[in-house]
C-alpha cells in the first residue's frame, strides 16, 4: 500500500480558504484509490501464512506440519519405530560395553545421573534400583517420531544415540520412564506414587531432588539436540534454496500487485476523464460508451508510462523479497503470526520506496524535498500498518462474522483509518510553516546527484551551442580580425587610421550608424548614433 506514494504530487499547497477535507480528498485522490486497490483490493494475490513461507525448526516444532512437501513425504516414509534398531546400534552398544569393561576391571560403580548417591553396578543380583541401565534422556521413540529431524536430514538412530543424550540410571527408573518425556514422567509419578515405589519402598513418591536432576538433564540434552538440528538445517543448501524461492515468489506476488494497481488506477482516471466529457442530461448509453472508451485508453496510458509501471513492479518485487527473507529470519527465533507477516510485508513497501528516494532519487529532488518525501513515505507506511491492525482487531469482533457484511466493513474501516492518518499527515506537513522553512533551508544544499545532473545539463547546453557553430567561417573571421588589427597597429596618422577603420566596417558588412560626412551628421542635435 505504501508504494502509492510514488504518485504523490510534490509541493502541494492547499488553499487555506477552502474546506480542509476538500483539499485532502481532492489533492490526494490518487493516494486513497491506490491504497484501496493495492493493499485491500489486490491483497488476495499475496498469500500470507503463519510462520512465513519457509520451514523453520521452531515452526515445525509448534505446528507439526511442513511447508515443503519434500519433508512431509520423508516424514511419512520414516517407517515404524523399532526399539531393537535403536538399542542395537553400534554407538549404543559400544558405550555399554566400555562401561561394563571398566567396571569389571576396576570394580568402581557408576553414579546414577538422576539420583545422587545411588551407585550402580552391572549385576542383576543387586536388584533393579542398583543395576546400571543406559537411558535415552530424549526417548528413542520421541526422536524417531520427531518431524523436525526431517529438516536436518539426520538419522534418528544417530540422534538418539548421541553421547550427550545417553546417561546411566537404575534399571527400575529407566523401565518406568519407558518412552515418556521427562515432563510426562514426572507428571505420571505425581499422579501414581504407589507405582513409583522409589528405591523399592512401596508407595514412596519420586524425590524432589530427582525431579530437579531429571529436568536439568532433559534441558541440557534438548539444548544440544536442538542445536545439532538447527546447525545442520540452517547451513544446508535446501534451506537456502527454499528461502530464495520463497523470496522470489513473494516478490513476484508483490510486484504483480503493485503493477496491477497502477494499471487499474490508469483505467479509472481514463474512464473518469471520458465521463467528465459527457454532456449533462446524457442517457445511460452515452455514459456506458464513455466507460468503454476509457478502459482501452487507460491500458494505453499504462503502456505509455511503462517506465513507471516497471518501477512499480520492481519496488513491489524488492519489498516482497526482503519481507520474505526478514520473515524467515524472524521465524528462526520465534514463530510469526499471519498478521505479523502481513505487517512486515507492508512495512517493507515503505522502506523500499524510501530507499529509492534517498539513494536513487529518481525525481531529482533537492535535499529538503528528499527528506520530506522520505518522511511522508515512512509515515504513510506506519499509517498503513495501523489501518491493517485496526482491521485485524475488527475481524475478531462479532460484526466480522456476519456473512457478506463483515469482510466489507473490515476492509472499509482499514482503508478509512489508513487514508485519514496518511492524508492528514500530508496536509499537516504541507501547511506547517516550520517544516517548509526547514525544507527551504536544506534545499540550498543540493545533493551530489543533483549537482552532477545540473553540471551535466550545462555541458549539454554548451555542446549544443558549439555544435551549431560554423567553425570554418569562424576561423575565416578570426583571420580577418588579425589582419585588420595588424594594419591598425602600423597606421602612422589619424587619417590613415580612420580609413582603415572604415574599410574594416565595410568589409565586415557592418552598417555605418550615420549618413554622409560624419562631422555634418554630428552637428545636427536631432541625429543619434545607432549601432546594429
pLDDT at position 20 is 46
Closest CA to 80 of 152, 177, 145, 137: 145
Using the structure block, give the residue that is written with the C-alpha cell 546411566. 168
Neighbours of 355 (CB within 10 A): 16
pTM, full prediction: 0.60
Look over the chain and give the mean of its residue pLDDT values, rounded to a whole number: 78
The pLDDT value given to residue 5? 39
Instruction: Report the half-sphere exposure of 420 (CA within 13 A, side-chain side).
Output: 10
Residue 425: its H or E element: helix 406-431
The whole-angstrom separation of Cα 97 and Cα 94 is 5
Query: Which residues are bridge partners to 132 per DSSP?
Result: 170
The arithmetic mean of pLDDT across residues 359-385, rounded, is: 72
- Is 271:290 a contact under the CB 8 Å cutoff? yes
Element containing residue 70 per DSSP (H, E): helix 69-76
Residues, the chain: 532
Q: pLDDT digit string (tens) for 484-503?
A: 888 887 778 877 787 787 77
User: What is the model's pLDDT at position 42?
Assistant: 62
Instruction: Give the separation between CA 275 and CA 291, rounded to whole angstroms.
Output: 7
Distance between alpha carbon 121 and the CA centroid of its chain, in Å?
Answer: 61
Cell 597606421 -> residue: 491
Q: Which of 87, 86, 116, 110 is nearest to 98 (CA)?
A: 110
Check whether 438 has a pLDDT greater than 70.
yes
pLDDT band, residue 9 (cuts 50/70/90) = very low
**Chain segment 169-179, per-residue pLDDT in tens:** 999 999 999 88
Query: What burial letters (b/e) apply to 16-46, b meaning 16+ CB within 10 Å?
Result: eeeeeeebbeebbebbbbbbbbbbbbbbebb
Torsion sign over Cα 230, 231, 233, 234:
positive
pLDDT-derived band at 446 (thresholds 50, 70, 90) equals low
- pLDDT number for residue 215: 94
> How many C-beta atoms lie closer than 10 Å to residue 82's C-beta?
13
Residue 111 three-state SS: strand
Amino acid at each position: 500500500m505504501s508504494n502509492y506514494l510514488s504518485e504523490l504530487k510534490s509541493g502541494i499547497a492547499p488553499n487555506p480558504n477552502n474546506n480542509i477535507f476538500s483539499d485532502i480528498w481532492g489533492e490526494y485522490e490518487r493516494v486513497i484509490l491506490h491504497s484501496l486497490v493495492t493493499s485491500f483490493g489486490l491483497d488476495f494475490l499475496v498469500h500470507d501464512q503463519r510462520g512465513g513461507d519457509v520451514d523453520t525448526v521452531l515452526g515445525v516444532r509448534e505446528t507439526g506440519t511442513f511447508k515443503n512437501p519434500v519433508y512431509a513425504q520423508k516424514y511419512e516414509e520414516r517407517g515404524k519405530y523399532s526399539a531393537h534398531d535403536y538399542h542395537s546400534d553400534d554407538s549404543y552398544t559400544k558405550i555399554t560395553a566400555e562401561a561394563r569393561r571398566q567396571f569389571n576391571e576396576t570394580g568402581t560403580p557408576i553414579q546414577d545421573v538422576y539420583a545422587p548417591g545411588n551407585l550402580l553396578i552391572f549385576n542383576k543380583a543387586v536388584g533393579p534400583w542398583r543395576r546400571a541401565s543406559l537411558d535415552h534422556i530424549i526417548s528413542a521413540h520421541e526422536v524417531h517420531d520427531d518431524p523436525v529431524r526431517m529438516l536436518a536430514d539426520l538419522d534418528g538412530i544417530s540422534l538418539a544415540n548421541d553421547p550427550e543424550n545417553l546417561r546411566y540410571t537404575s534399571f527400575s527408573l529407566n523401565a518406568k520412564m519407558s518412552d515418556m518425556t521427562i515432563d510426562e514422567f514426572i507428571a505420571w509419578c505425581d499422579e501414581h506414587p504407589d507405582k513409583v515405589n522409589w528405591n523399592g519402598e512401596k508407595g514412596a513418591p519420586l524425590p524432589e531432588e530427582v525431579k530437579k536432576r531429571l529436568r536439568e538433564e532433559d534441558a541440557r540434552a534438548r539444548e544440544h539436540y536442538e542445536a545439532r538440528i538447527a546447525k545442520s538445517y540452517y547451513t544446508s543448501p535446501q534451506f537456502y534454496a527454499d528461502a530464495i524461492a520463497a523470496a522470489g515468489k513473494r516478490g513476484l506476488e508483490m510486484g504483480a500487485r503493485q503493477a496491477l494497481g497502477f494499471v487499474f488506477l490508469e483505467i479509472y482516471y481514463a474512464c473518469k476523464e471520458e465521463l467528465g466529457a459527457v454532456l449533462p442530461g446524457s442517457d445511460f448509453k452515452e455514459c456506458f460508451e464513455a466507460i468503454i472508451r476509457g478502459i482501452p485508453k487507460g491500458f494505453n496510458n499504462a503502456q505509455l508510462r511503462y517506465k513507471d509501471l516497471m518501477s512499480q513492479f520492481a519496488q513491489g518485487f524488492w519489498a516482497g523479497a526482503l519481507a520474505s527473507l526478514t520473515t524467515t529470519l524472524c521465524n528462526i527465533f520465534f514463530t510469526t503470526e499471519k498478521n505479523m507477516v502481513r505487517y512486515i510485508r507492508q512495512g517493507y513497501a515503505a522502506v523500499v520506496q524510501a530507499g529509492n528516494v534517498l539513494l536513487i532519487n529518481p525525481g531529482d529532488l533537492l535535499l529538503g524535498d528528499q527528506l520530506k518525501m522520505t518522511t511522508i513515505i515512512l509515515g504513510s507506511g506506519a499509517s498503513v500498518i495501523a489501518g491493517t491492525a485496526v482491521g485485524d482487531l475488527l475481524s475478531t469482533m462479532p460484526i466480522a462474522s456476519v456473512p457478506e457484511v463483515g469482510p466489507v466493513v473490515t476492509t472499509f474501516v482499514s482503508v478509512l483509518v489508513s487514508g485519514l492518518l496518511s492524508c492528514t499527515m500530508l496536509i499537516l506537513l504541507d501547511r506547517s510553516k516550520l517544516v517548509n522553512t526547514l525544507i527551504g533551508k536544506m534545499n540550498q544544499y543540493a545533493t551530489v546527484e543533483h549537482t552532477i545532473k545540473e553540471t551535466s545539463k550545462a555541458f549539454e547546453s554548451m555542446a549544443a551551442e558549439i555544435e551549431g557553430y560554423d567553425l570554418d567561417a569562424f576561423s575565416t573571421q578570426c583571420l580577418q580580425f588579425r589582419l585588420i588589427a595588424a594594419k591598425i597597429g602600423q597606421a602612422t596618422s589619424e587619417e590613415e587610421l580612420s580609413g582603415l577603420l572604415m574599410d574594416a566596417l565595410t568589409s565586415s558588412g557592418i552598417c555605418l550608424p550615420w549618413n554622409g560626412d560624419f562631422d555634418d551628421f554630428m552637428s545636427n542635435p536631432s541625429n543619434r548614433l545607432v549601432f546594429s
